[in-house]
Amino acid sequence: MQMNCSYEQCAPINEAQCWSNIDWKAAKRYVGSLQARIVKAVKQGRKGKVKSLQWLLTHSFYAKALAVKQVTENKGRKTSGIDGETWQSATKKWRAISSLKRSGYKASPLRRVFIPKSNGQRRPLGIPTMLDRGMQALYLLAVEPEVETNSDGNSFGFRKQRSCADAIEQCFKVLCRKGAGEWVLDADIKGCFDNISHEWMLKHLSIDKPILSQWLNAGFMESGKVYPTLAGTPQGGIISPTLMNMVLNQLQGTIEEASGVKRGKHREIRSNVKRVSVIRYADDFVVTAHSQAFLVDTILPCINEFMSQRGLALSPEKTHVRHISEGFDFLGQNLRKYNGKLLVKPSSKSALHLMNKLRLTITKYRSSRQDRLIFQLNPILRGWCNYHRHSVAKEVFCKIDSDIWLLLWKWACRRHPRKGKHWIRARYFHSVGARNWTFCTGDKQIALFRLAAIPIVRHPKINSDANPYDPTHETYFESRLDVLINSRNKERLHRLLSRQNGECLYCKRKITAKTGWNIHRLVPLYLGGDNKTSNTVVVHPSCHNSIHKSKNTAAPSYMAL
């Protein structure tokens, strides 16, 4: 039930306490229940019901509180817009809830700043005010369930529970199968976020038009002067990636229609033999087909027309048609067939970027203690390794381990130019287990992360129609989490079992390899739950089924539309 709270009930002296007393679990449950109802209405084609539920959500206290919470906890929370305002104190956060109103809302111009790009150039970035960020977060809560329900099946960018690994795995499944198309259109949209037509968005996007118009026409301020924005999504806005996905949805269907693919109720019906597949991650996408001519003469004009209607165009420099035997880079991976066998490896550009980053870090900390240098390097190495651990990366991992060892040896020698090699080795490199020359502290408690020690594990791709806002998919997401934990993070499973004393929380009997186990979320995804350890428990498979059957015995009240 929604919290019936009047903002005037709290005297100014108690406003900070009012913020701290908000029941966040109840807030997530209430908003999650409305989002689940939105999904159900979208699937039933009840557009009027969708709009009324979205209106109810954007005017609810709990949704506004969650929106304020989101923008005051993300990385940019201390960065202000043109008004210099940040919502740092509990009092300001409480007052901000009442400021998120549709009536009388007017978006402020963005504060223009420039950030460096990898090629040495600078990219403009717009910073909205806290009020505008809060309004975008609020409307995102209402729009995202509808977008998730209507999104292309093979769209993976900026979507909950989806990742680059899912996009790469879909590419692998498409290209490795027998009879797969071996010509690939690797495309990139030129300035996607900056060039989308305002007119097209206001005409076609299913979002509150007056609010959307405010964001699109807010303009930006640079050197004290306000300039208009004639195209593009709100720069730096929380809702911009979702708006971009709304604009590019139907790209997959448009290409499939041009290639002669018709969709039946349960399967694809192909009117010709030209098998075409589309995989998109944000504004990067690939299209596979059987012939170069078909991609160039049929598919490419279809894509160009689709883009031009939305004010967009493909980047000629980054759009190529290649045979799979030549290989192509996509999302930091290289996909290529060697003698008919498809392999996915970390791209040379990605490995080079990593080594450049490591060199800069080592140079920056050339006079620091060894433990401090390790603390700086390990997150970089671990993050890159975890991203590429699903590909054929063992050889690359070993090469990077070797290259960074040489960099660290030079680092140590430069620190002690008058010391011999044996002294330097004894000071910085030690034997740990069966491995010699490990870069670690003398007590062996702090050691450099070693990429080659990480096992290569294939990523289980998410189902194309899986929707984290849909209650009917909760069992699937729990089983998927079970697979991910078992394949990637055995330590987390052991922690959960240890916390439960090895017992199933449902029947209190021991969990063993013979009984098996499932991961269960205490608060489901569609009710605002997450995958954190605090929200997960281990239960027997039979107990897990019983839990979900007991939930489904009576339909939850929020499912009654």
Tell me: do 51 and 78 sit in the same domain: yes
Q: At which of 324, 345, 366 does a domain end? A: 345
Tell me: do 33 and 134 sit in the same domain: yes
Task: Give residue 50's Cα distance to chain centre.
Answer: 25
- Report if residue 115 sits inside a domain: yes
- In this structure, the chain runs to a length of 561
277 by DSSP, 3-state: which? strand
What pLDDT, on the 0 to 100 scale, is given for residue 487?
65
Q: Are 136 and 58 in contact (CB under 8 A)?
A: no
Tell me: do 180 and 319 sit in the same domain: yes
CATH number, position 547: 3.40.1800
d(CA 325, CA 340): 8
Compute the Cα dihedral for 388, 393, 399, 402 and give only its sign.
positive
d(CA 367, CA 32): 51
Tell me: do 490 and 547 sit in the same domain: yes
Using alpha carbons only, how large is the chain's radius of gyration in Å?
Answer: 26
Q: At which of 345, 369, 402 does a domain end? A: 345
Q: At which of 321, 345, 369 does a domain end? A: 345
Tokens found for residue 454: 């990480």
- Report if residue 103 sits inside a domain: yes
Residue indicated by tokens 């405010």 = 214
Show the domain range for 439: 348-453
Residue indicated by tokens 């700043």 = 113
d(CA 153, CA 173): 14
Q: Which one, of 144, 148, 37, 30, lies nearest residue 555 by Cα?
A: 37
HSE-up of 296 (CA within 13 Å, CB side)? 8
d(CA 257, CA 263): 9
CB atoms inside a 10 Å sphere around CB 345: 19
Tell me: do 184 and 329 sit in the same domain: yes
Tell me: do 285 and 386 sit in the same domain: no
Measured at the CA of 490, the angle between CA 372 and CA 539, to 5 degrees, comes to: 135
Mean pLDDT by 10 residues, the chain (561 residues): 47 69 92 97 97 97 96 90 93 95 95 80 87 97 97 95 96 91 95 94 96 95 90 88 96 91 49 74 95 95 97 94 96 96 97 97 95 96 95 97 97 95 95 91 92 92 95 88 69 79 85 78 84 86 81 39 36
Tokens found for residue 273: 């033999």
The torsion angles phi and psi of 141, rounded to 5 degrees, stand at: -60, -35
- Report if residue 554 sits inside a domain: yes
Tell me: do 184 and 311 sit in the same domain: yes
d(CA 107, CA 236): 14
- Report if residue 201 sits inside a domain: no
CB atoms inside a 10 Å sphere around CB 107: 22
What pLDDT, on the 0 to 100 scale, is given for residue 3?
47
DSSP 346: E
Residue indicated by tokens 């969650």 = 66
101 by DSSP, 3-state: which? coil
Tell me: do 323 and 352 sit in the same domain: no
- Number of domain units in the chain: 4
- Report if residue 79 sits inside a domain: yes
- Report if residue 155 sits inside a domain: no
d(CA 164, CA 170): 10
Tell me: do 435 and 489 sit in the same domain: no
What pLDDT, on the 0 to 100 scale, is given for residue 553?
38
Q: Which one, of 298, 288, 280, lies nearest residue 321 by Cα?
A: 288
Q: Are 239 and 231 in contact (CB under 8 A)?
A: no
- Report if residue 272 sits inside a domain: yes
Tokens found for residue 361: 């870090």
Tell me: do 340 and 353 sit in the same domain: no
314 by DSSP, 3-state: which? strand
d(CA 292, CA 277): 14
Q: Which residues of 539-559 are buried (b: 16+ CB within 10 A; e: fewer)?
A: bbeebbeebeeeeeeeeeebe
Strand order of the β-sheet with 333-338 is: 328-330, 333-338, 341-346
Tell me: do 329 and 411 sit in the same domain: no
- Report if residue 388 sits inside a domain: yes
What pLDDT, on the 0 to 100 scale, is given for residue 512?
74
The torsion angles phi and psi of 555, rounded to 5 degrees, stand at: -65, 130
Tell me: do 121 and 28 sit in the same domain: yes
What pLDDT, on the 0 to 100 scale, is given for residue 252?
95
CB atoms inside a 10 Å sphere around CB 253: 14
CB atoms inside a 10 Å sphere around CB 262: 10
CATH number, position 299: 3.30.70
